[in-house]
Chains A and B, each alone.
Chain A
Amino acid sequence: MNDGKAVMRANLKHFIGAGAFVVVLTVIGVLILNTDRLLPPAAAAQAASIDFLFSVEFKLIAFLFALIIGVMVYSIIFFRRKAGDTDDAVYMPGNARLELAWTLIPLGIVIVLALLGSRALAQTTRIDPQAMEVKVIGQQWTWRFEYPAYDIISTELVLPVNKQALLRLSSVDVIHAFWVPEFRVKQDAIPGGERLLRITPTQLGTYTIMCAELCGRDHAYMNAAVIVKSAQEFDAWVIEQTEAVSDDPLVRGQQLAQQYGCLGCHSTDGTVIIGPSFYQLFGKTESLEGGATVQVDDAYLFEAIRDPGKTIVQGFPNLMQPTTSAGLTDEQINDIIAYIKSLK
């Protein structure tokens, strides 16, 4: 057995060489893995602590990569076999102290990393009691945003800057995920319960919410805008939205059909997206699964919207969920029916 120290002395020259290699590689690695250039601009308070963590991790990665690859490349260059040499190399079966070192040091590193990670996580989930609540509802393949405090329903998420927004995420059908790269944080919206996400936008501007969980055919397009406004502009928007409720049922119906994602599955021009088109729907004779036919009138439409599983249109999958329209009042459904009627 070789004594560790003796090996070390014999290796001194190589150690210095390889060490220099590792240092140079680390520097290059740190320069390349510069988080300022590798991440989209940060636009929320939560992003700051996450970005700090990214920069720590990337530096660590640069060093560890350099450590292993540096020594490996050094060995490849300096410890290659000479042509014609068939001897074995020195007999060096192991060294318990070294093994212990490279077990315990990484152990220490990961514990520190995990500590930093928990701290950052705590910062991203820090609660502001003043937070503004928004319900975020995901649905194949649209987003809907409800502001309980203002009685607003919107298809864009509008947030005041520097104020924490408490998003209550849920889904009416499959799993979706709320993600804005500039905010860094992500949370799945799942059927069967609300999940919370806190965001404090710090930069004015318009960003894109992307659905980050595969949710079927149009998952790639399940985007919505998030607009960060100053406090005054936000207030103005709230007023505009509350006043904008039209007294024309037809206009209200169109808005609702938009907001509740109906138009994601039903076209208004006769083409088939997922469900039957709304175009010329009213008054026509619809054949149902099971052989019956029905004259499309107000009562039928109401039922088809409120309880979609009850009658299934011939040739279509039973995809429309009762949860789709669960948030609609009877009046609102009548508004939508008025809108459908108008599509002639």
Chain B
Amino acid sequence: MSKKTNFLSLGLVRGVFAMLVGMPLGMGLVTLIRLAVGLPAWNAEPAWVVGGLVGAVAFMIGVGSLSDWFKLAAGGELPEHPAGAVNGWARYFNFTLDHKVIGVQYGVLSLLMFSIAGLFALIFRTELVQTGLQYLNADEFNTLISLHGIVMIMAILLGVAAMSNYLTPLMIGANDMAFPRLNSFAFWINVPSGIFLLSSLFLGGFDTGWTGYPPLSVRAPLGIQMFFLGVYLFGLSSILGALNIIVTVVRLRAPGMTFFRMPIFVWSAFATALISATATQLIALSFQMVMFQRLFGMGFFDPARGGNVLLFQHLFWFYSHPAVYVFVLTGLGTISELLPVFVRKPLFGYRWVAVSSLGIALIGFFVWAHHMFTSGMSEFLRVPFMYSTLLVAVPTGVKFFSWVATMWRGKMSFETPMLFVLGAISIFLVGGLSGPPNAVVATDLHLHDTYFIVGHFHATMFGGFVFPFMAAVYFWFPKVTGRMFNERLGKLHFWLMFPAFFVQSFGQMFIGLFGMRRRIADYDPALGFEQPNWLITIAGMVIALSVLIFFINLVYSTKRGPVAVANPWRSRSPEWLLPSPIPEHNYPQPLEIVGEPYDYGLVGSVFVRIPSTAVIEEPVK
């Protein structure tokens, strides 16, 4: 517990060093095996893949994530605290069991990945301002869009994990996740994953988009193996993290916290986890098959050898469609969670909103082929998939209408988190409503693989994840740090980002309708897209500027912000009973749940009680 932690003792640093040792070891191993069986000693692909895997394991050992399990396997007992647990800022760079620290770790890594991916976007957007190729060549462009896509998606998954890790145990009155070690493991595996993804930039890149369709991905440069490896590892993280959430929610709820008394966010974290824990296997499998086709020449996707290129798309989208609901459900949960607090009214139709999350998750499993309407899959499959896809609009609609009804005759106030919630609703609405034209096969024949789709998914992901995430960061900032953020900078952030986003997304949809294809480094000047493209790029830069302001606010306020009052938003959720920042073991005594979570305006209603101490009460006058 020493305050002065030196740099070299940080888990992260040890992990990276171990990785630097592990990777050459793995490569050497491959070379030796190849020599032993009489192949030419050096082959870059297997060397990098195996080197990467060994490096990832070495990283986890270096971080200290595996020590306890090794001990257990060797017949030892699991210690309550990992050896050499640290306090202070250093614990954020170390193996730790505290779900709140892990949540913050996820959040910071998410923001870092988000910035990197955003930076990639700014670079290739600059290229798109004019026709012709100015700064990038076509291969660099393709690599950048692909990395932009996948790194953003990783950032979202990390952000989702950040929120559900930090909040779920607090909201159900638990003191940690069900499997804290697994939780920590799931976080740390993301570090090598991120390193691999970004390293593909230096290994020839890859020109397939984030979807990695074969046969193109079979012919892509070495970089694609690192991309696959990276996705593989954060997929693993997703699965393990999700499993943990499900078990936590099922097993560790405080007495009296029935399913229908859980804060609504927990519902969405639960529904999200159900998807992640199962569907993720399929993207791993599909990528693994391409990896093996490259490494061992297995002919899964080679029609000349009885393979089939559509098989990949089915497996890939079986995950990657449900994945978009992973991105969005947590965000929608956040909206539902924050809205009542700032409207001072109960969440309208709590049960309907709760169940609609499960509905979205469930239907989400049966719609994947809407990404394949033009792929040449069996004709007769297109119509059923159109029906199932459109069906998702129904539970999503329930959420929207319930939100509007929540606002109706409320007493709204507009602090920064609320601004982001309202922004999220309007943006996600745009994104969601641009879904049905894609879902209807006939119109998708025009829209598929155009910028209309690009506009659609930026709107859904900004509205469904980015804005709610920002709202969540602002909302729980005082809880995490004990200090308030700067409200003026927060509002500035919002008022830059919100309009800029609309320009960006509407611009994308507009040119898409007119025939701007996705994933093109250059476009025909005759189409007259220069002006809208220029506008989209400027809008992207304004978004980046606003994000920079956001970061400045976070860093400054963490250090210098005014000390926050106990419950600045007058929320009824149990985490606000605790001091900020929250001590390591959350609740000193078990909570007792005695009422409904959102009964704002019901005089004398109580949600949570800590027996024998204070009662969290609505300040009903």
Measured CB to CB, the residues of A under 8 A from B are 11, 14, 38-40, 49-50, 53-54, 57-58, 60-61, 64-65, 68-69, 71-72, 75-76, 79-82, 85-96, 98-99, 102-103, 106-107, 110-111, 113-114, 116-118, 120-121, 123-125, 169, 173-175, 177, 179, 181, 184-188, 190-193, 195, 208, 210-221, 223, 319, 323
Contacts and interface: CB of A to CB of B under 8 A. Distances in A.
Contact of B520 (A116, A190, A219): A219
A106 B394 contact: yes
B187 to A, nearest CB: 32
A62 B444 CA distance: 19
Nearest to A187: B374
Given A79-B410, A118-B383, A88 B405 contact: no
A285 B591 CA distance: 84
Interface stretch (B193-201, B208-216, B550-558): B208-216
Contacts of B413: 80-81
Given A79-B409, A89-B411, A53 B442 contact: yes
B398 interface: yes
Contacts of B449: 177, 179, 186, 212-213
A161 B618 CA distance: 73
A99 B349 contact: yes
B308 A93 contact: no
B70 interface: no
Given A106-B397, A121-B382, A186-B449, A76 B412 contact: yes
Nearest to A71: B404
Contacts of A49: 442
Contact of A188 (B138, B376, B402, B601): B376
B252 interface: no
Given A69-B426, A93-B348, A208-B524, A57 B437 contact: yes
Contacts of B618: 88
Interface string B461-488: 0000000000000000000000000000
A93 B346 contact: yes
Nearest to B209: A214
B219 A195 contact: no
Contact of A220 (B215, B404, B521): B521
B600 interface: yes
B292 interface: no
A188 B600 CA distance: 54
Contact of B138 (A58, A113, A218): A218
B383 A113 contact: no
B308 A50 contact: no
B601 A98 contact: no
Contacts of B227: none
Interface stretch (B155-163, B428-436, B497-505): B428-436
20 contacts: A14-B409, A68-B425, A71-B408, A75-B412, A89-B344, A89-B601, A91-B346, A91-B601, A93-B347, A99-B349, A110-B436, A121-B442, A124-B445, A174-B213, A177-B374, A186-B446, A188-B374, A192-B307, A219-B138, A223-B524
Given A61-B434, A94-B350, A174-B219, 19 more contacts: A40-B515, A54-B443, A57-B437, A68-B425, A72-B407, A75-B412, A88-B600, A95-B405, A102-B401, A120-B443, A125-B379, A173-B219, A174-B215, A177-B448, A188-B374, A214-B208, A214-B519, A220-B521, A223-B524
A49 B440 CA distance: 12
Contacts of B445: 50, 124, 184-187
Interface string B495-532: 00000000000000010011101111111100000000
Contacts of A184: 445-446
A211 B520 CA distance: 10
Contacts of A89: 343-345, 409-411, 600-601
Contacts of A107: 391, 394
B430 A93 contact: no
A220 B437 contact: no
B376 A212 contact: no
Interface in B199-255: 207-209, 213, 215-216, 219
Nearest to B526: A208
A72 B601 contact: no
Interface in B413-441: 413-414, 422, 425-426, 429-430, 433-434, 436-437, 440-441
A114 B376 CA distance: 20
B433 A64 contact: yes
A90 B345 contact: yes
Interface in B40-93: none
Contacts of A11: 408-409
Given A79-B408, A80-B411, A88-B345, A118 B207 contact: no
A75 B404 contact: yes
B585 interface: no
| 3 A-B pairs closest in CB distance | A192-B303, A181-B515, A120-B442
B142 interface: yes
Contacts of B391: 107, 110
B437 A54 contact: yes
A210 B441 CA distance: 20
Contacts of A38: 510, 513-514
- Among B422, B434, B448, B620, find the residue whose CB has the most chain A CB atoms closer than 10 A: B448
Contacts of B596: 93
Contact of A103 (B216, B398, B620): B398
A90 B375 contact: no
Contact of B411 (A60, A79, A211, A215): A79
B309 interface: yes
Contacts of B601: 88-92
A16 B394 CA distance: 26
A111 B596 CA distance: 36
- Among A177, A217, A220, find the residue whose CB has the most chain B CB atoms closer than 10 A: A220
A193 B376 contact: yes
Contacts of A221: 522
Nearest to A178: B374
- Among B394, B448, B518, find the residue whose CB has the most chain A CB atoms closer than 10 A: B394
Contacts of A211: 517
Contacts of B411: 79-82, 85, 87-89
A50 B445 CA distance: 9
Nearest to B425: A72
Contacts of B450: 212
B621 interface: yes
